[in-house]
A and B are shown apart, each in its own frame.
Chain A
Amino acid sequence: MFVDQLVNGIVLGSIYALMAIGYTMVWNVLRFINFAHGEVYMGGAFVSLYLLLLDTPIWIAYLGGVLAGALLGYLMEKVVYLRMRSAPKLNLLIAAIGISILLQNLAQYIWGATPERLTSPFLSKNIQVGDMMINQHYIFIIILTILVMITLELFINRTLMGKAVQAAAQNINATQLMGINANKIISITFAIGSAVGALAGILVGPVFLVYPTMGIFAGLKGFTASVMGGMGNIPGAMIAGLMLGVIESFAAGFISSGYRDAVAMVILLFILLVRPQGIFGKIVQQKV
């Protein structure tokens, strides 16, 4: 029972961690939280679902969903946020809310509101670990999350582009002075963050189903993890995501199922109240 909850928690936590990465990466380069990030998660899952309906091989369908998510994030930035660089932050925030509502309802308009299950090659198989059975798809989620994290870590610390993204996190204007195109960095950040978010959506698709508003809670929980980890702190976001998943999984055992989703919300409000700068790092304040 305990181990069961723990595994569930880690699976949930992996998803939250993947979501949190998107928020935190965009925050680093733009000092802005992309409120529509949850819709990338939803969009990626829907595209995968749609591709599977067209009898696309499953790996291609998954990949297509991830790429679609990256494209969606890229387009959001190019079509809307880029044009609002000089606008007050309030406007940017409202635009993001608008995009989120637009995409949610567009998905509902196209695909309807009925939840559907994404296929997974592993869902029907279990693995025996000790004396308990773990669904293979869960293992798949955990392994893939770890792979993504390692890849991201390598990308950011070992590649030139990754270093540029890091420099942009310090100071986007300085990046420009170094001869690196800041807009390109921002685009790449959006695309990568969104690809990871879409992957999260695709990974939960076989377990928690795919529906137009699936991004709201996932977005909020990913955001909670990014706040817990310290906004802008990528490793922090990963650890905090796992923590949140495990906490939520155990807490859910104590309360009625109707309030299950409230757990993360209460945690978010609590974190914002007592430690808005996060557990692991400091949020960078505006420079005078």
Chain B
Amino acid sequence: MNSKAAILTVDQLSKSFGGVKAVNNLSFSVTQNNIHAIIGPNGAGKSTLFNLITGVISPDQGKIRLLNNDITSLRPDKIAQHGVSRTFQNIRLFPDMTVFETAFIGTYLFTGGKLLPAILRTKEFRKKERQAKERIEEILQFVGLWEMRNEYAAKLSYGNQRRVEIARALATNPSLLLLDEPTAGMNQKETKELMQLFTQVNKQGITILIIAHDMHLVNTLSDQITVINFGEKLVEGPPEVIHNHPAVMEAYMGRAEVNA
């Protein structure tokens, strides 16, 4: 299909909650360096899919592979170690931290959580701390939050809170970034600015898997779209194809307008 390799492969994934099939025999793959969108009506199983990929919940059946590694049912922190990072549908920041501190948490995988070097303040430890700080400065400049680094993240505007989440995710140095409805609740200006940011992130070589409701956003941004409904794959293809697909029009478009 594509000359480039798949970074993420979801293979016949299923998950039910008390008899309700949230994700049902779902298979798709995300090509490296793409922006890949997952769309579908409310309750289609998009967030469940994200929670399955990031290890928050375990699937009943099926496999999730990242490059050549099987990451099915691994713990979330192990999956993060494999280079998967994410933002949350309802923004999850650390209430007591500034923008800088919040983003700094993302460097955990780089600085490590070793105690002895921390207590002895070894050369290696100090070097890594310094490098991590430089990296955060770079990231905060990149997402446009450097000026606000000392403000409490939770007190920023909604759009900027999302940026903090993205900065924190970028700090883990991910190869795959999962964005769960990143523009939900944003105004047009914020949405537009965030879309520009996603393109910039993607240009750095980070593959993006995005859940979205906003058709406009999906059409302009993504290389590939997977439409799901009732936990199953409906259609898949580039935006042009999806846009005119009758099944999608029927199952999703009409309802999306009601939901918007």
Q: Do chains A and B touch in the complex (CB under 8 A)?
A: yes
Q: How far is the CA of A288 from the CA of B89 in the complex (A)?
A: 8
Sorting the interface of chain A by its residue count into under 10, 10 to 19, 20 to 34 or 35 or more gives under 10
Encode contact with A along B54-85: 1 for CB under 8 Å, 0 otherwise. Answer: 00100000000000000000000000000000
Instruction: Please report which residues of chain A, range 248-288, place their CB below 8 angstroms from some CB of chain B when the two chains form the complex.
Output: 288
CB distance from B48 to the nearest CB of A (A): 9
The answer to the question of B47 belonging to the interface, with a C-beta cut-off of 8 Å to chain A, is: yes
Interface size on B, residues (CB 8 A): 6
Instruction: Please report which residues of chain A, range 33-54, place their CB below 8 angstroms from some CB of chain B when the two chains form the complex.
Output: none
Chain A residue with minimal CB distance to B92? A288
Q: Which of B47, B56, B89, B95 has the most CB of A within 10 A?
A: B56
CB distance from A200 to the nearest CB of B (A): 33
Could you say which residues of chain A place their CB within 8 Å of the CB of B51?
Answer: 288
The answer to the question of B230 belonging to the interface, with a C-beta cut-off of 8 Å to chain A, is: no
CB distance from B210 to the nearest CB of A (A): 17
The answer to the question of B88 belonging to the interface, with a C-beta cut-off of 8 Å to chain A, is: yes
Chain A residue with minimal CB distance to B48? A288
Encode contact with A along B78-109: 1 for CB under 8 Å, 0 otherwise. Answer: 00000000001100000100000000000000
Could you say which residues of chain A place their CB within 8 Å of the CB of B89?
Answer: 288
Could you say which residues of chain A place their CB within 8 Å of the CB of B95?
Answer: 88
Q: How far is the CA of A198 from the CA of B249 in the complex (A)?
A: 61
Instruction: Please report which residues of chain A, range 68-94, place their CB below 8 angstroms from some CB of chain B when the two chains form the complex.
Output: 88
CB distance from B182 to the nearest CB of A (A): 15
Could you say which residues of chain A place their CB within 8 Å of the CB of B56?
Answer: 288
Q: How far is the CA of A288 from the CA of B181 in the complex (A)?
A: 13
Could you say which residues of chain B place their CB within 8 Å of the CB of A88?
Answer: 95
Q: How far is the CA of A34 from the CA of B89 in the complex (A)?
A: 31
Chain A residue with minimal CB distance to B56? A288
Chain B residue with minimal CB distance to A170? B18
Q: How far is the CA of A88 from the CA of B94 in the complex (A)?
A: 12
Instruction: Please report which residues of chain A, range 207-255, place their CB below 8 angstroms from some CB of chain B when the two chains form the complex.
Output: none
Could you say which residues of chain B place their CB within 8 Å of the CB of A288?
Answer: 47, 51, 56, 88-89
Q: How far is the CA of A88 from the CA of B56 in the complex (A)?
A: 21
Could you say which residues of chain A place their CB within 8 Å of the CB of B88?
Answer: 288
Instruction: Please report which residues of chain A, range 87-117, place their CB below 8 angstroms from some CB of chain B when the two chains form the complex.
Output: 88
Chain B residue with minimal CB distance to A286? B56
Q: How far is the CA of A88 from the CA of B154 in the complex (A)?
A: 15
Could you say which residues of chain A place their CB within 8 Å of the CB of B47?
Answer: 288
Chain A residue with minimal CB distance to B57? A288
Q: How far is the CA of A257 from the CA of B193 in the complex (A)?
A: 71
Q: How far is the CA of A88 from the CA of B95 in the complex (A)?
A: 10
Chain A residue with minimal CB distance to B95? A88
Q: How far is the CA of A288 from the CA of B51 in the complex (A)?
A: 8
CB distance from B138 to the nearest CB of A (A): 30
CB distance from A85 to the nearest CB of B (A): 15
CB distance from A166 to the nearest CB of B (A): 14
Q: How far is the CA of A88 from the CA of B51 in the complex (A)?
A: 23
Encode contact with A along B38-53: 1 for CB under 8 Å, 0 otherwise. Answer: 0000000001000100
CB distance from A19 to the nearest CB of B (A): 29
Q: How far is the CA of A88 from the CA of B47 in the complex (A)?
A: 25
CB distance from A129 to the nearest CB of B (A): 44
Instruction: Please report which residues of chain A, range 193-207, place their CB below 8 angstroms from some CB of chain B when the two chains form the complex.
Output: none
Chain A residue with minimal CB distance to B50? A288
CB distance from B142 to the nearest CB of A (A): 27
Q: How far is the CA of A288 from the CA of B56 in the complex (A)?
A: 8
Instruction: Please report which residues of chain B, range 188-230, place their CB below 8 angstroms from some CB of chain A when the two chains form the complex.
Output: none
CB distance from B28 to the nearest CB of A (A): 21
Q: How far is the CA of A52 from the CA of B201 in the complex (A)?
A: 75
Q: How far is the CA of A288 from the CA of B180 in the complex (A)?
A: 11
CB distance from A177 to the nearest CB of B (A): 15
Chain A residue with minimal CB distance to B88? A288
CB distance from A115 to the nearest CB of B (A): 45
Interface residues of B (CB under 8 A from A): 47, 51, 56, 88-89, 95
Interface residues of A (CB under 8 A from B): 88, 288
Q: Which 5 A-B pairs have the closest CB atoms?
A: A288-B56, A288-B51, A288-B88, A288-B47, A288-B89
6 contacts between A and B (CB under 8 A): A88-B95, A288-B47, A288-B51, A288-B56, A288-B88, A288-B89
